């Protein structure tokens, strides 16, 4: 069967594309997803995200290579493998970032991506994903204390954490959940068009490569029911995310020609930027003993019929050397699981939201079942600016933890994190924020490392696109799910 569009990957971006392309015309769309359907309780319940994050049926369970600037630690790099993608196992935090992010994208030669240009598409994504504010009664005692304590350190309470022009503030984050249940991209975008007769969704379909002839993508080779089959389309869009999209391009012969040849892959298009520019928000966290008061308050809150949300508080602020926007997030977390003291788990994280360090992704082989080589590149910038920002974040979250109202709930810091005091300790403890981007960078032809243009079309190809977090030149200063939906909304508006 011939399709008008094949979309590879039913994650946040793929769901947006499928909806808008089928709604706007009578296009025949095929949506391929390597994973399974996501209509299970583990997905619907936001607190259950750790179940799917560690379940190989629903997660790719990637690991990085030993990270040389993190004492050669291998990092767990989860990416959802199911319909809805990472919107099916994130914390449902709906954050946009800073105006600096999108104005910087445009300054790289990406016309049409300034803050003012993309605001309408953020609003469309928010509306479709039912983004809302928490009711006063839904805010847990832990997060009430977190917001109050952060304000006491000098970070003001904001009326809108998604004000892209505000650089310093704390608030309870907006979220995309309803009545305690996750409202992911599959629910918001796919469900309304599943039965319209134009969309074919194929789960458990692992795409190996794109077949190419004279710079034109002719068909997709996928493994379905253990058979390799080829499906043709007029246009093909890859939406596999920051790890899978460059992998599919490289297996298709698009990437560094010399590197592909060494793997026995016939180069079709020499684009050296494929797999480069990988980056994410490095973070650091500290853990606390918890107190009887916290356990009592949280148990009472839960027993009153309230849903316990682990993540609610978000603060954004500047480190000393930040010149524009902001470069620090603070996000406290609590879980109904118990720590070594038998109390509620409670932690406070800080993340560097404007990292300079860059890594890369490469193939291990041409086998689509193999994991790629992932070098996150954390904290590898020569001037140690990234780790210096994290140190400031560490000092800030300790200052927050010492505020009287919060300290009464969380108690003393656990020994395992109280030992983190030096830059070297940070290298041994730094984590990520689960927001990888950049491996199919958007940029003009004049940028030798750009992979796609301003509408996601692969440079040098007639009908092949990439639309997902991988095309972001710089990671936004926020959780990436809503920005990814915005990117897809922006690009699909040019295709319909």
pLDDT at 289: 92
Distance of CA 462 to the CA centre of its chain: 28
* Angle, vertex CA 276, rays to CA 274 and CA 278, nearest 5: 125
The SS3 of residue 259 is helix
pLDDT at 92: 77
pLDDT at 50: 55
Which strand (E) or helix (H) includes residue 346?
strand 344-352
| Residue linked to tokens 């309230």 | 306
Distance of CA 34 to the CA centre of its chain: 18
In our burial notation (b when 16+ CB lie closer than 10 A, e otherwise), range 146-176 reads bbebbbebebeebeebbebebbebbbbbbbb
CB 256 within 8 A of CB 451: no
| Residue linked to tokens 């590898």 | 380
Phi, psi of 238 (to 5 degrees): -95, 125
pLDDT along the chain (496 residues), means of 10: 93 96 88 82 55 70 96 92 76 92 98 98 97 95 98 97 97 90 87 93 96 97 95 97 98 98 97 98 96 93 91 97 96 81 88 98 96 97 97 98 98 96 98 95 97 98 98 97 97 93
Alpha carbon distance 487, 406 (integer Å): 38
pTM for this predicted structure: 0.96
Alpha carbon distance 74, 414 (integer Å): 24
Alpha carbon distance 478, 370 (integer Å): 31
pLDDT at 91: 75
Q: How many CA atoms lie within 13 A of 17 on its CB side?
A: 37
* Burial zone of 202 (CB within 10 Å; 0-12 exposed, 13-18 middle, 19+ buried): middle
The helix, strand and coil proportions of the chain, stated in percent and rounded to the nearest 5, come to 30, 25, 45
CB 407 within 8 A of CB 69: no
Which residues are bridge partners to 279 per DSSP? 437
pLDDT at 43: 59
CB 176 within 8 A of CB 183: yes
């Amino acid at each position: 069967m011939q399709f008008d569009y094949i979309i590879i990957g039913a994650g946040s971006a793929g769901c947006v594309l499928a909806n808008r392309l089928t709604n706007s015309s009578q296009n025949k769309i095929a949506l391929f997803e390597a994973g399974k359907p996501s209509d299970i309780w583990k997905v619907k319940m936001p607190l259950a995200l750790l179940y799917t994050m560690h379940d190989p049926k629903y997660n790719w369970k990637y690991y990085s290579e030993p990270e040389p600037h993190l004492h050669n630690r291998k990092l767990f790099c989860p990416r959802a493998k199911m319909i809805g993608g990472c919107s099916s196992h994130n914390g449902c935090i709906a954050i946009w970032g800073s105006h600096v992010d999108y104005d910087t994208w445009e300054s790289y030669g990406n016309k049409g991506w300034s803050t003012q240009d993309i605001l309408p598409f953020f609003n469309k994504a928010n509306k479709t994903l039912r983004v809302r504010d928490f009711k006063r009664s839904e805010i847990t005692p832990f997060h009430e204390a977190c917001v109050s304590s952060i304000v006491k350190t000098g970070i003001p309470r904001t009326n809108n954490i998604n004000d892209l022009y505000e650089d310093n503030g704390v608030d309870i984050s907006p979220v995309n959940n309803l009545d305690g249940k996750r409202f992911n991209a599959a629910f918001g975008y796919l469900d309304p068009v599943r039965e319209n007769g134009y969309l074919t969704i194929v789960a458990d379909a692992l795409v190996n490569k794109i077949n190419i002839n004279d710079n034109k993508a002719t068909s997709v080779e996928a493994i379905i029911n253990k058979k390799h089959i080829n499906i043709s389309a007029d246009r093909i869009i890859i939406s596999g995310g920051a790890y899978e999209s460059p992998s599919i391009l490289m297996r298709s012969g698009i990437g560094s020609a010399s590197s592909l040849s060494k793997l026995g892959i016939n180069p079709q298009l020499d684009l050296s930027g494929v797999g480069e520019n990988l980056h994410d928000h490095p973070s650091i966290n500290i853990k606390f003993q918890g107190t009887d008061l916290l356990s009592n308050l949280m148990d009472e809150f839960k027993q009153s019929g309230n849903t316990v949300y682990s993540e609610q508080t978000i603060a954004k602020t500047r480190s000393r050397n930040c010149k524009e926007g902001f470069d620090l997030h603070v996000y406290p977390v609590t879980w109904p699981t118990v720590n070594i003291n038998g109390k509620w788990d409670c932690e406070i994280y800080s993340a560097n939201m404007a990292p300079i360090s860059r890594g890369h992704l490469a193939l291990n082989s041409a086998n689509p079942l193999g994991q790629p080589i992932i070098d996150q590149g954390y904290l590898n910038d020569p001037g140690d600016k990234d780790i210096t920002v994290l140190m400031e974040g560490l000092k800030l979250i300790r200052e927050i933890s010492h505020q009287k109202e919060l300290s009464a709930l969380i108690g003393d810091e656990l020994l395992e994190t109280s030992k983190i005091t030096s830059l070297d300790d940070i290298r041994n403890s730094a984590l990520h924020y689960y927001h990888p981007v950049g491996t199919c960078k958007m940029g003009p032809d004049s940028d030798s490392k750009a992979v796609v243009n301003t509408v996601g079309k692969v440079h040098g190809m007639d009908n092949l696109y990439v639309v997902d977090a991988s095309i972001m030149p710089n990671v936004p200063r926020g959780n990436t799910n809503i920005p990814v939906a915005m990117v897809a909304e922006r690009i699909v508006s040019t295709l319909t």
